[in-house]
Structure 1
Amino acid sequence: MADVSQATYDVLRAHGLTTIFGNPGSNELPFLAGMPDDFRYVLGLHEGAVLAMADGFAQARGGSAFVNLHAAAGTGNAMGPLTNTVYAHSPLIITAGQQVRSTIGQEVMLANVDAPMLPKPLVKWSSEPACAQDVPRTISQAIHIANLPAKGPVYVSVPYDDWGQEAPAETRHLVERTTAPANSLSADQLETIAEALDRARHPVLVLGSEVDAEHANDEAVRLADALNAPVWVAPLPSRCPFPTRHRSFRGVLPAAVQEVTDALAGHDLILVVGAAVFRYHQFVPGDYLPEGTRLIHLTSDPSEAARAPMGDAWVTGVRDAVTRLADAVTPGRRPALPSLPDIAPHRTSSEAIHPEHLFALLRENAPDDVVYVKESTSTIGAFWSQMDLSLPNSYFFPASGGLGWGLPAAVGAQLALPDRRVVGLIGDGSANYGITALWTAAHYHIPTIIVILKNGTYGVLRWFARVLEAGETPGLDVPGIDFAAIASGYGVTATSVRTPTAFVAAFEKALAGDSPVVIEVETAFSEP
């Protein structure tokens, strides 16, 4: 008979979870000691980086990722990046080692006391199996829960003396079972929404990250073209659901109540697809909807549907709904929208490159299928004004603002997408949180290109201090960090530039190579 470890690896293999992201401790060694040859272990030097790498990997590959953390301490280290996985709907299977069962109640060293409670409320589900024989089934349950709508991270704590116990014979059924969502708009529901769109004089689409996650981008274009409707991206997007150079594209909605209402004024129907309604940030109160405007919300997440303060919601598969709506609406009822002019970037001074200029240079010199993983929060507006994104999986951003996600997520995304080049656009404030991921990139020869935008300050906090009228506050500057030297210490080729010509030369050289590279860029201060 197989032991619990072997049976669990069989379950993981059946779901394609043969890559393990982790940083091991003593509680995890008995599980890892039995790792089969067809599995690979990706080591990170800090659990925060481990979890963010796994998140980037999962989002880029469009599936789950398996994470192995060290007891309570390792789980705690991963909690910051875990906040991003929740709102990105990333189906991470997070496991943590636990002390020997008979000693947990004594709170011995490395006991994870009340383990299932530790990651709540961030995880979708958490458990510590009641006995060793239930470990494989619990892991199977975790995988299915993580991947059923709405997708999200799950957590399982396993005592380390469980792995060597004999697995029950019935675990063989676990590798054969499947679960799948079957929710879809009924014919009547589809007709109701399509008729509302047809009757609307000035409809507008607001698309969220789930459109890109479900690879419904082309279907969203078909719907926008049929309606001749403008398209906004929902506030604070973690992905790009619509081509940024399409004539319907209007940009990203601001993240404040009144500012969203002002942006959508003049539209009698708002169709929100694959996003919350809405994720606000800065507190600018106002009317939730323009006067006389109806809002229709399509999402796979019952929680998003339930907590919205306005609108009519349908919980459904996003790709299916967008595809069928594009076929159901009546095309040509409104005049075609004109093409939008390009926005000329700010030019660069002799001291530093303006972020808009940097992003324009990237647009001109990056491959057409480039993937951007961005965690430079003060340059959001500059980025969207210059980028030309048209393919699914072209843009990833921390979904909940937890810093330290971007750099390791770029490494994970590159691991998942070996045929596309991943470029991490990381602020110097953010880079310090996840810098250890550079070692992983070097050790496993993962050819991510990390561009660190260095302006010596937490730029988004300086902007927010002005919004809040807080005046000058301490702790907003991070001067004197040599990221090229740090990267070299981790074994990554690195250079520092401050002119457009030098950046283009460094970027082209990085693209021509097959190793990780860090380009530190002196950039001017900008606001989001």
Structure 2
Amino acid sequence: MRAQVHDLLRSWGMTTVFGNPGSNELPFLDRFPADFRYVLGLHEGAVLAMADGYAQATGRAALVNLHAAAGLGNAMGNLANAAQQQTPLVVTTGQQARGMVGLGAMLSEARMTEVARPHVKAAFEPLRARDVPRTLAEAHHLAALPPRGPVLVSLPLDDWAAEVDPHEVEHLGTRRVATGGGVGGGEVEMIAARLAVARSPVLVLGPEADAEPAFSCAVALAERARMPVWIAPSPPRCPFPTTHPHYRGVLPAAVAGVTGALAGHDLVLVVGAPVFRYHVDRPGPYLPPGATLVLVTADPGAAARAPMGDALVADPGAVLARLAEQVVAPADRPAVAPRPLPAAVAVEGPPFPAEAVFDVLAKALPADAVLVNESTSNTAAFWERVPIRRAGGLLFPAAGGLGFGLPAAVGAALADPDRPVVAVLGDGATQYGVQGLWTAARHDLPITFLVLRNGEYGGLRWFTGPLGVRDVPGLDLPGIDAVTIAAGYGVPGERVEALDQLAAALITPRDGPLLLEIPVASGVSFAG
């Protein structure tokens, strides 16, 4: 790993290291490269100030190597000065060996990342030894992004002996992270130029693009540039109409899945999403062979953290608008063929296939409806079959926990009483936010709550496969009667015995809420 880190530091022009070494730092300094310069200071406070002056004079981030918590403490006065001055510094501290920290060994500090606060923009200690290069890359980019400032990285001394998968570092040294502010400085024009010469570009959109005019500008850009459009993994919003012929679906939430889905494209333009928000651990190359990536996001943390691609920190909507004006597909770029529609499923329920329920919902749903989805075991089928046509058309829990869906539907209905709201909920998820039914009833909100009852935490049951576990308790949910529970809160409910009953309920005007409990077959269509 040491050689890989040295190569990264060279690529960033950080070959001058300011420090006062201790035992924890010796593995980093072992076989110090001949083309590097080590500037020794006789006290960590002086070391920090020298690096500060160097960074201010060069205009680039400087690297500081301090000794454990004590050395960091010695440097705190001048670290506070650097923070106030907004000086870009990568401040590394030598941590004791990982196995020694929990024992309270000499020169260990279990809370090292807290020592420097509040005088750093961020503080990291890699969760794994192999994460050291990517963590240093994140610190480097974050320190240089406005507002500039010091970033701390605590480095356990035994991490330097670890091996790192080449896939995890292959893009780190060539990444360029810029800030667009008002999208000036030619950054958008450079993206437009790359789109113009790409053989097969693809657009990936995230939640930051789910607002007008970004939503409409994304459509215009996709059409003018003849690009297929994917939605970034684990989406909490829908930033592109799923009925558009350029729409391809939601990217899988795994490294290997994303790479496979994007195979054949030479330029990946990601707007308004992290790169990428994975969920399932299926490692591999971050990009297909021959592909490059450009990220546009308003989140400097996401731009700094990405393991591949160039990044522009700017307003995604403004960038999409500019690109939609500037980009025109070359004459030889083929048109985007619509994706095949999903096949109908046989219905023999109850219990019904979730796909059949979503097909009924798709036919009966008003075009301007707001959908709230918290049926997590059916997310893939939901995205494949339920149309979302307008900005703000979908809400989904972003952090992966339960309890958002039902009360979020109440909030959406209160915000816009004229826009119909349909909440698609798992029977387990319903119990986390069930108190929201009382508020829906008190305010006579015309929300349709669809409780898909499969009698289990289906998403968790699916995960037992990828995680290699078995005989797990707590996954079954027998005996929950959502209709009776709803009645207790003042919300009328029905048990759906036929899908015609569901269709009729969805199209019948109402002055208040309604809960429909729909038995669905066990099984998972999880977008992993």
Instruction: Give TM-score, length-normalised by structure 1.
Output: 0.64
Aligned-pair CA distance for 1:321: 0.2
Contact 1:259 1:284 in 2 (8 A): yes
Counterpart residue number, 1:310: 308
- Following TM superposition, by how much is the alpha carbon of 1:467 offset from its aligned partner in structure 2, in angstroms? 1.9
User: Which residue of the partner structure matches residue 263 of structure 2?
Assistant: 265
Contact 2:180 2:312 in 1 (8 A): no
**d(CA) in 1 for partners of 2:338 and 2:198?**
22
| Structure-2 residue corresponding to 1:464 | 463
Residue number in structure 2 paired with 1:50: none
CA distance in 2, matches of 1:439, 1:405: 15
Per-residue deviation, 1:187: 4.7
The SS at the match of 2:181 is coil
Kept after mapping to 2: 8 A contact 1:240/1:394: yes
Q: 1:465 to 1:302 in 2, by over 3 A?
A: same
Q: Work out whether residues 411 and 441 of structure 1, in 8 Å CA contact, stay in contact via their aligned partners in 2.
A: yes
Distance 1:216 1:191 in 2: 18
Per-residue displacement from partner, 1:324-356 (whole Å, max 9, x unpaired)? Answer: 001111234412112223112322223312111
1:392: Cα distance to partner? 0.8
* Equivalent residue, structure 2, for 1:233: 231
3-state SS in 2 of match to 1:432: helix
2:505 match? 506
Cα deviation digits, residues 72-128 of structure 1 (max 9, x gap): xxxxxxxxxxxxxxxxxxxxxxxxxxxxxxxxxxxxxxxxxxxxx9xx99xx9xxxx
1:472 CA displacement: 2.9
Of residues 198, 201, 205, the one that matches 2:199 is 201
Give, in angstroms, the shift of residue 471 of structure 1: 2.1
Instruction: Give the aligned partner of residue 407 of structure 1.
Output: 406
- How far apart are the structure 2 equivalents of 1:289 and 1:425? 34
- C-alpha distance in 2, partners of 1:345/1:215? 34
Q: What residue number does 1:377 align with?
A: 376
State the 1:367 CA deviation.
Answer: 1.0
Contact 1:226 1:332 in 2 (8 A): no
Which residue matches 1:216?
214
Match of 2:482 in 1: 483
Provide the rounded CA distance (Å) in 2 between the counterparts of 1:277 and 1:395.
Answer: 21
Instruction: Give the structure 2 partner of residue 321 of structure 1.
Output: 319
Structure 1 partner of 2:335: 336
- How many angstroms apart in 2 are the aligned matches of 1:304 and 1:283? 19
1:241-300: CA deviations, max 9, x gaps? 111121211100000011111111111110000000000001111111112211100001
**Per-residue deviation at 1:205?**
0.5
1:209: how far off?
0.9
CA distance in 2 between counterparts of 1:304 and 1:369 reads: 31
The question of whether the paired residues in 2 share the 8 Å contact of 1:495 and 1:506 is answered with no
Q: Which amino acid aligns with 1:522?
A: P
DSSP 3-state at the match of 1:192: helix
Deviation at 1:376, TM superposition (A): 0.5
Matches within 5 A, 1:184-199: 184-199=182-197
Supply the distance in 2 between the matched residues of 1:370 and 1:280 (Cα, whole angstroms). 29
Q: Distance in 2 between matches of 1:435 and 1:298?
A: 38
Pick the structure with greater CA Rg.
2
Give CA deviations for 1:180-207 in whole Å, capped at 9, x if unaligned: x992221511211100111110101110
State how 1:59-458 maps to structure 2 within 5 Å.
Answer: 183-333=181-331, 334-458=333-457
**Is contact 2:180–2:313 with CA below 8 Å preserved after alignment?**
no
Residue pair 1:484, 1:496 contacting (<8 A) in 2 also: yes
Kindly indicate whether structure 1 or structure 2 has the higher relative contact order, using CA contacts under 8 Å at least 6 residues apart. Answer: 1
Change (3 A) 1:182 1:259: closer
Structure 2 contact 209–239 (Cα < 8 Å) conserved? yes
Instruction: Quote the Cα distance in structure 2 between the aligned partners of 1:347 and 1:406.
Output: 29
Cα distance in 2 between the residues matched to 1:198 and 1:423: 41
TM-score norm. by structure 2 comes to 0.64
Unaligned runs of 5+ in 1: 1-116, 125-148, 151-180
Q: How many corresponding residue pairs?
A: 353
Partners in 1 of 2:499 and 2:346 — Cα distance? Answer: 10
**Displacement, 1:218?**
1.1
Residue 410 of structure 1 aligns to a residue whose secondary structure is: helix
Deviations along 1:387-413, whole A, 9 cap, x unmatched? 221111111100111100000001101
Return the alpha-carbon distance in structure 2 between the equivalents of residues 200 and 464 of structure 1: 38
8 A Cα contact 1:299 1:317, kept in partner:
yes
**Which position in structure 2 is the counterpart of 1:517?**
514
Structure 2 residue matching 1:384: 3-state secondary structure: helix
Counterpart of 2:293 in structure 1: which amino acid?
A: L
| Distance in 1 separating the partners of 2:467 and 2:247 | 30
Cα distance, 1:278–1:214 mapped onto 2, change above 3 Å: farther
Q: Which residue of 1 aligns with 2:54?
A: none
Question: 1:469, CA displacement in angstroms?
Answer: 2.2
Report if aligned partners of 1:375, 1:398 keep a CA contact under 8 Å in 2: yes
In 1, the alpha carbon distance for the partners of 2:474 and 2:321 equals 49
Q: Is the 2:201–2:266 contact (alpha carbons within 8 Å) kept by the matching residues of 1?
A: yes
